[in-house]
């Protein structure tokens, strides 16, 4: 099972990235656990200075932009 984390403080872009990640998981049919990381201290542990950010299995895949569900799906394969 993949672990997908959305790093962000709850801004509209962060919420949109989370929704796109949910859609990517559903359309790909893989098992994944989605998690929001909203505390600044926790976000900084990833070395991320700009949000939203996408983390897959502990690796930062995207920073500072909202990926589409199709773009996220390619990162999950």
**What is the C-alpha to C-alpha distance for residues 60 and 20, in angstroms, rounded to an integer?**
16
Among 11, 19, 40, 44, the active-site one is 11
Instruction: Compute how many other C-beta atoms are within 10 angstroms of the C-beta atom of residue 38.
Output: 15
Residue 14 a catalytic site member:
yes
Residue 76 a catalytic site member:
no
The residue written with tokens 């895949």 in the block is 61
Among 4, 7, 14, 67, the active-site one is 14
The catalytic residue positions are 11, 14
């Amino acid at each position: 099972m993949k672990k997908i984390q959305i790093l962000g403080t709850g801004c509209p872009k962060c919420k949109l990235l989370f929704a796109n990640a949910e859609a990517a998981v559903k359309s790909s049919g893989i098992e994944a656990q989605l998690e929001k990381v909203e505390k600044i201290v926790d976000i900084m542990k990833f070395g991320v200075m700009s949000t939203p950010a996408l983390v897959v299995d502990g690796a930062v895949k995207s920073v500072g932009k909202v990926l589409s569900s199709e773009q996220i799906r390619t990162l999950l394969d």
